[in-house]
Amino acid sequence: MKGVREKTETIPPNEQKRTRMAPLGYPSNLLAPGQTYESVNETIGSIVLRNRQPATWWIGFVLAFGLLMLFFLAVSWLLIRGVGLWGINIPVAWGFAIVNFVWWVGIGHAGTFISAILLLMFQHWRTAINRFAEAMTLFAVACAGLMPLLHLGRPWLFYYLFPYPDTMGLWPQFRSPLVWDVFAVGTYFIVSLLFWYLGLVPDVATLRDRAKKRWQKKFYGTLALGWRNSAAHWQRQQIAYLLLAGLATPLVLSVHSVVSLDFAVVIVPGWHSTIFPPYFVAGAIYSGFAMVLNIIIPVRKVYHLESLITERYLNNMANIMFVTGLMVAYGYVIEAFMSWYSGDIFEQYMMMNRTFGPYGWVFWVLMLCNVLVPQALWSARIRRNPLTLFIVALFINIGMWVERFVIVVTSLHRDFMPSAWGMFYPTFWDWSILFGSVGLFLTLLFLFVRFFPMISMSESRELVAEPQNANAL
Amino acid sequence: MRMRYDWELSICLMGFMGRVIMTNDSLHGLAAEFETDAGLMRAAEQAYALGYRKMDGYTPFPIEGLGKALGKTNRIPLLVLLAGILGGCSAYFMEWFASVISYPLNIGGRPLHSWPAFIPITFELTVLGASLTAFFCSLGLSGLPQPYHPMFNLPEFERASQDRFFLCIEAADPQFDTPRTRSFLESLDPLTVKEVAK
């Protein structure tokens, strides 16, 4: 991957300065021309170390914090009054909480995809976005994990889900996908946290060494754990990082597969399907990339990071988002086909009900957001324009939430016996949990941007040292 | 009047005294500072060839092959493999023990040892065991967290995390001899060669 950097000296300086063009005719560099170690350190480090944040940061933070307060209110009221506050009932026992859970877990997946899978494939275009995407994973999984807990009814007894030596002599039911979920999401959160922190240690060491203020030296010095950039440290950190990437790759596929098994193992029409695991994983990466784009486009603009997060990143992310979107669209087609082909009256009715039943309009919103609007990404001009890309990604994020609503609610509300049919109407508290969790996510993200380097400085320095990688096609 | 103990002053004094009575006992080593990674790499190879073993390179980003050139070994992959196997086996054992021995539930006569249903958790705990080991070994084997290290006595050292490359040959090396090692390091075309107090 790296080798001895003799090549650095053999490349003439004017070659590095020129912006190389890809065959497609757009700038293909991962680093703006003329970057040095110091310019990279300064661009990324000063965001954290200087005192003042732009006004946009404050406005965004205040809004996010307000939503977080709404979340605390909704959760407190829920703990006092119970899940009857929500619109859930029998037959629709899984309402917004499970929709939100699947949505948030999915959003997290792009972070692991960017940081782990692209690392294993030597894709250098992960460098400027991996730290950010990993942080996003962490916060999204934290939001996701809260949802089923709040749905438990008695959330304070959540530890019943763990195999601990209890005085009741009980064990969790290990054959249940819901218990698999606990292990899958728990492992995913821990591994994401370790991966993120291991990559962060060298960067907080840089901040420690650049810090001027006393609290900054202490804060970053503590987090750096005494990291001193020695060859032995790097050797261990690199091998552990690579191993964690290798472990996170199958893990990320397993997590959303297990989540999909929550549905697929059940015999409810519209859930009982073998395509669910791959279709869920594709959907997860789809929505995750949409979320990365929705966050990184404004951040790049506000903090003037265009020299590090170049157009090439946006274009590549748009490509992956588009391809996974087509996979998801294929999933929709196969779902419809299989319900007809199964010859099962309940499956066939499910599809009719899903498209033209009482929630039919939700299905068509889903088609609009997830299938129709993303077709705009065929156009290179739309992919490379941050504004249009942002809008398309926003549609996809909404569409993926709606998709989970369609899967959860329209499948449950009319299953077998017409006498057991019902409707689900979300209440104010349903919506406040959804928007409140967005507030939690964004608050954590704003604090992350304020206190941690959002782009990996050590990896950016590596790109500076290896212009041939920075400009590879 | 109560005296406040001034840590910073006392550390300064200790540093000053350390410099006054600088002998091999108070010397951590000699550090050469380089401007490029290639320069450091060449220096590391030559130092290793001369028989120096107790030394370390300090670089602002990982340089593949530098650890090897300095003779550093790495046991993490093996430990991670073992921990993964251990995690997986213990997860499967736990599921089997719970479902067959400790808490058997007869559900429509289905087999108690229903191994396909045990695979997801076995897999997750394999990954968890391996990941925890990878993380804690990578820090633990490096001796982190470590609040103090002599290298931080070198004022220029803060650039090792930013844009400079250092090679430090430690006084504990049997080959180490202050004037001889210094002239060797100076022959490698560094920016500076400095003594690092312990």
Tokens matching residue A394 = 């926003």
The tokens describing A326, both together, are: 């087509």
Q: Is the pLDDT of residue A425 over 90?
A: yes
Q: Can you tell me the distance from the alpha carbon of A133 to that of A73, in angstroms, rounded to the nearest whole number?
A: 29
**Candidate from B57, B76, B131 with C-beta closest to A239:** B76
CB-CB neighbors (< 8 A) of A202 in chain B: 61, 161
Q: Dmax of chain A from CA atoms?
A: 78
Q: A122: left (phi > 0), else alpha (psi -120 to 50), else beta?
A: left
What's phi and psi for A35, nearest 5 deg? -80, 140
Write out the two tokens for B153: 């006595």
Which residues, listed in sequence order, are joined to residue A27 by a DSSP beta bridge? A21
The token pair that represents A437 in the structure block: 């969790």
Q: Is A11 helix (H, G, I), strand (E, B) or coil?
A: coil
Distance from CA of A330 to the nearest CA of B (A): 26
Nearest neighbour of A243 by CB, restricted to B72, B77, B102: B77
Cα–Cα distance, A335 to A260 (Å, whole number) = 14
Q: Mean pLDDT, to the nearest integer, of B21-42?
A: 80
- Across the range A274-300, mean pLDDT stands at 91
Q: Is B161–A235 a contact, with Cβ atoms under 8 angstroms apart?
A: no
Q: How far apart are CA A254 and CA A185, in angstroms?
A: 10
At residue A51, the pLDDT reads: 67
pLDDT score for A5 = 42
Over 60: is that where the pLDDT of A18 sits?
A: no
Shortest Cα–Cα distance, B64 to chain A (Å): 6
Mutation choice for B interface testing from A236, A457, A463 by most B CBs within 10 A: A236
CA A20 to chain centre: 31
Would the pLDDT of B16 be above 70?
A: no
Contacts A169 to B, Cβ<8 Å: 102-103
Contact across the interface for B120 and A184, Cβ inside 8 Å: yes
* Strands of the sheet with B55-58, listed across from one edge: B55-58, B165-170, B27-34, B192-197
A31 and B CB contact within 8 Å = no
- Give the model's pLDDT for residue A307: 80
Q: What's the pLDDT score for residue A26? A: 56
- Overall residue count recorded for chain A in this entry: 473
Q: Taking the CA atoms of A254, A255, A256 and A261 in sequence, report the sign of the dihedral they define.
A: positive
Task: Give the one of B59, B135, B149 whose C-beta lies nearest to A231's C-beta.
Answer: B59
Q: Residue A37 is nearest to which of B41, B57, B162, comparing CB atoms?
A: B162
SS3 content of chain A, % helix, strand, coil (to 5): 75, 0, 25
Whether B103 sits inside 8 A of A205 (CB atoms) is: no
Chain A interface, mutation test: which of B112, B114, B124, B157, most A Cβ atoms within 10 Å? B124
**Measuring CA to CA, which residue among B83, B29, B17 is closest to residue B53?**
B29
Residues of A in contact with B130 (CB under 8 A): 243, 247
- CA atoms of A339 and A349, how far apart (whole Å): 8
Contacts of B149 in chain A (CB under 8 A): 226, 228
Would you say residue A21 has pLDDT above 70? no
A51 Cβ contact list (under 8 Å, min separation 6): none
Task: Please give, rounded to a whole number of angstroms, the shortest distance from the CA of B7 to a CA of chain A.
Answer: 14
**φ, ψ of residue B193 in degrees (nearest 5):** -125, 125
In this predicted structure, the answer to whether residue A189 has a pLDDT above a threshold of 90 is: yes
Give the C-alpha separation, A293 to A390, whole Å: 6
Gyration radius from chain B CA atoms: 26
Q: Does the pLDDT value for residue B18 go beyond 60?
A: no
| A437-469 tens-digit pLDDT | 999 999 999 999 989 998 888 888 888 887 766
User: Taking 80 as the threshold, does the pLDDT of residue A4 lie above it?
Assistant: no
- Are B58 and A251 a contacting pair at CB < 8 A? no
**Cβ <8 Å between B59 and A234:** yes
Q: What residues in A contact B36, CB-CB < 8 Å?
A: 5, 8-9
Confidence class of residue B94 from pLDDT cuts 50, 70 and 90? very high
The complex's ipTM? 0.87
Residue of A nearest to B35 (CA): A37
Please say if the pLDDT value at position A36 is more than 70.
Answer: yes
**At CA B98, angle to CA B92 and CA B104, rounded to 5?**
130
Residue that wins the pLDDT comparison between A43 and B127: B127
193-252 of A, contacting B, C-beta below 8 A: 194-195, 197-198, 201-202, 205-206, 208-210, 225-241, 243-244, 247-248, 250-251
Rounded to an integer, the average pLDDT of B113-118 is: 92
Helix (H) or strand (E) holding B166: strand B165-170
Mean pLDDT of chain A: 87
Say if strands B27-34 and B192-197 run parallel, antiparallel, or are unpaired.
antiparallel
CA of B103 vs chain A CAs: smallest distance (Å): 7
Stretch among A91-95, A290-294, A327-331, B9-13 having the lowest mean pLDDT: B9-13
Strand ranges for B25-131 from DSSP E: 27-34, 55-58
Residue A27 · residue A19 · CB < 8 Å: yes
Q: How many residues does chain B have?
A: 198
pLDDT score at A49: 84
Taking a contact as any Cβ pair under 8 Å apart, which residues of chain A between 144 and 173 contact chain B? 163, 169-173
Pick the CATH number of A20-166+179-470 from 2.40.420.20, 3.30.565.60, 3.40.50.720, 1.20.1630.10: 1.20.1630.10
Contact A59, A67 (CB under 8 A): no
Q: What percent of chain B has pLDDT over 90?
A: 29
How many Å lie between the alpha carbon of B6 and the closest alpha carbon of chain A?
16
pLDDT for A79: 94
Chain A residue with the nearest C-alpha to that of B141 = A236
Cα–Cα distance for residue pair B70/B53, rounded to 1 Å: 7
Which residue in A41, A171, A236 is closest to B102 by CB distance? A171
Q: According to the model, what pLDDT value does residue A130 have?
A: 86
Q: Residue A471 — very low, low, confident or very high, per pLDDT cuts 50/70/90? A: low
In this predicted structure, what is the pLDDT of residue A22?
52
**Is residue A100 very low, low, confident or very high in pLDDT (cuts 50, 70, 90)?**
very high
Per-residue confidence (pLDDT) for residue B183, from 0 to 100: 87
Contact B80 A243 (CB under 8 A): yes
What is the average pLDDT across A170-192? 92
Asked if the Cβ–Cβ distance from B131 to A235 is below 8 Å, we say: no
pLDDT range class, residue A150, cuts 50, 70, 90? very high
User: What is the pTM assigned to this prediction?
Assistant: 0.88
Q: B76 and A254 in contact by Cβ < 8 A?
A: no
Cβ contact, residue pair B72, A170, below 8 Å? no
Determine the Cα–Cα distance for residues A246 and A250; give it in Å rounded to an integer: 7
Percentage of residues in chain B with pLDDT exceeding 70? 87
pLDDT at res. B127? 96
Average of per-residue pLDDT across B52-74: 86
